[in-house]
Amino acid sequence: MKELVIISGKGGTGKTSIMGAFATLAKNKVLCDADVDAADLHLIIEPSIQSRHDFKSGRTALIDENRCSQCGQCRDLCQFQAISLDFQVDPVACEGCGVCVHFCPENAIDFPINTCGEWYISDTRLGLMVHARLGVAEENSGKLVSLVRNEAKGMAEKTGSDLILTDGPPGVGCPVIASIGNADAVLVVTEPSVSGIHDLKRILALTEHFRVPAMVCINKYDLNQKLTDDINTYVRNSHATTLGKIPFDTGITHAMVQAQTILEYDPFSETSQAIQDIWQKVKDRVFT
Ligand code: SF4
Ligand code: SF4
């Protein structure tokens, strides 16, 4: 079983639209939406949730006023000014370091684990999908990314699937690192813009550092042919390979509005043909 992770150095490159199109083309796979901070694959794939689970991570101090002697030690020790004059913990300011819990002489501070979001196993018209929703302003999205990838792997093993198709988070931060570790290959979706090239360089440096084979596709290539040429030159001199380019196409937006992938919405368009061509090259590389 192989895992292909689709990433982009920045948001707005069309990563999820290409992921959706691949989901239409791939056989015997499990889908994994690891873009947990801003999941949007569900908008075009419309999952029907079969099971729902809490995502728990981190802890927050909670003072029990019946046990508290108001000695003030916790307030003096808290480096985050999270404890008020009347010994209430501000859950937003509390970083969960546990210092107050450890030093409270009355053992008056509880330290429950937080529920930060939910993850799901769903049926979709394109196959099983594992996805998640992180709570508002919650952190630890890297941990949730690892969790959904592990669950997708377990699901793929259980169902005898050949492939896990993972929609990774944008950027180059902790969630992206959590999404590419141990992947068989990544496909970086980029676009011909100054910020697109800048972020492509950063994401390729990351894949090289973690020794993950990287492929590149240039979306909306015809918006700036000069920058498309620059991307091709850059990738040619890197450890990665450019597999193809996809034209700018308002059909992608129309497909999204209809909750369809571009392959379902307009299978014979130039865009769909380009994506099929890239998918064939991805398969040749991932499965050989
Ligand atoms: S250290 Fe414990 S007993 Fe002292 S004020 Fe804080 S919670 Fe109350
Ligand atoms: S757990 Fe740490 S951050 Fe939270 S209130 Fe206690 S000392 Fe402050």
Q: Can you give the residue ranges of every domain in the chain?
A: 2-53+117-286, 61-111
pLDDT digit string (tens) for 192-238?
999 999 999 999 999 999 999 999 999 999 999 999 999 999 999 99
Share of the chain above pLDDT 70, in %: 99
Neighbours of 256 (CB within 10 A): 18
Kindly report the length of the chain: 288
pLDDT at 236: 96
Closest-CA residue, ligand 1 atom 6, reads 74
The response to whether residue 159 sits with its C-beta less than 6 Å from ligand 1 reads no
The response to whether residue 61 sits with its C-beta less than 6 Å from ligand 2 reads yes
pLDDT at 170: 84
The response to whether residue 104 sits with its C-beta less than 6 Å from ligand 1 reads yes
Closest-CA residue, ligand 2 atom 6, reads 100
Q: Does domain 2-53+117-286 have CATH number 3.40.50.300?
A: yes
Which ligand 1 atom sits nearest the alpha carbon of residue 83?
6
The Å distance, Cα 83 to ligand 2 centre, comes to 8
- For the ranges 4-8, 37-41, 191-195, 273-277, the lowest mean pLDDT is seen at 37-41
Sign of CA dihedral 252, 24, 258, 169: negative
Mean pLDDT of 106-123: 95
The Å distance, Cα 61 to ligand 2 centre, comes to 6
Work out the mean pLDDT of the chain and round it to a whole number: 94
115: phi > 0 → left, psi -120 to 50 → alpha, else beta; which? beta
The response to whether residue 110 sits with its C-beta less than 6 Å from ligand 1 reads no
Closest-approaching ligand to the CA atom of 59: 2
Which ligand 2 atom sits nearest the alpha carbon of residue 99?
7
Instruction: Specify the fold of 61-111.
Output: Alpha-Beta Plaits (3.30.70)
Mean pLDDT of 61-68: 97
The torsion defined by the Cα of 136, 152, 43 and 41, in degrees rounded to 10, comes to 90
The response to whether residue 101 sits with its C-beta less than 6 Å from ligand 1 reads no
This prediction's pTM: 0.89
One fold for 2-53+117-286 and 61-111: no
Q: Is the pLDDT of residue 69 over 90?
A: yes
Confidence of residue 78 (pLDDT cuts 50, 70, 90): very high
Closest-CA residue, ligand 2 atom 8, reads 78
Instruction: Write out the two tokens for 21.
Output: 């199109």
What DSSP letter does each residue of the chain carry, written as one string? Answer: -EEEEEEESSTTSSHHHHHHHHHHH--SEEEEE--TTS--HHHHH--EEEEEEEEEEEE--EE-TTT-----HHHHH-TT--B-TTS-B-TTT-----HHHHH-TT--EE-PEEEEEEEEEEEETTEEEEEEEEPTT---HHHHHHHHHHHHHHHHHHHT-SEEEEEEEESSSHHHHHHHTT-SEEEEEE-SSHHHHHHHHHHHHHHHHTT--EEEEEETGGG-HHHHHHHHHHHHTSS-EEEEEE---THHHHHHHTT--HHHH-TTSHHHHHHHHHHHHHHHHHT-
Q: Is the pLDDT of residue 9 over 90?
A: no
The Å distance, Cα 87 to ligand 2 centre, comes to 12
Confidence of residue 173 (pLDDT cuts 50, 70, 90): confident
**Best residue for ligand 1 mutational test, from 60, 62, 65, 74 (most atoms within 8 Å of Cβ):** 74
Q: Is the pLDDT of residue 12 over 90?
A: no
Which ligand 1 atom sits nearest the alpha carbon of residue 107?
2
The response to whether residue 108 sits with its C-beta less than 6 Å from ligand 1 reads yes
The response to whether residue 265 sits with its C-beta less than 6 Å from ligand 1 reads no
31 and 23 Cβ atoms separated by less than 8 Å:
yes
Mean pLDDT of 105-119: 95
Confidence of residue 140 (pLDDT cuts 50, 70, 90): low
End-to-end CA distance of the chain: 12
Q: Which long-range contacts (CB under 8 A, 24 or more apart) does 236-240 make?
A: 238/204, 238/208, 238/214, 239/204, 239/207, 239/208, 239/214, 240/188, 240/204, 240/207, 240/214, 240/215, 240/216
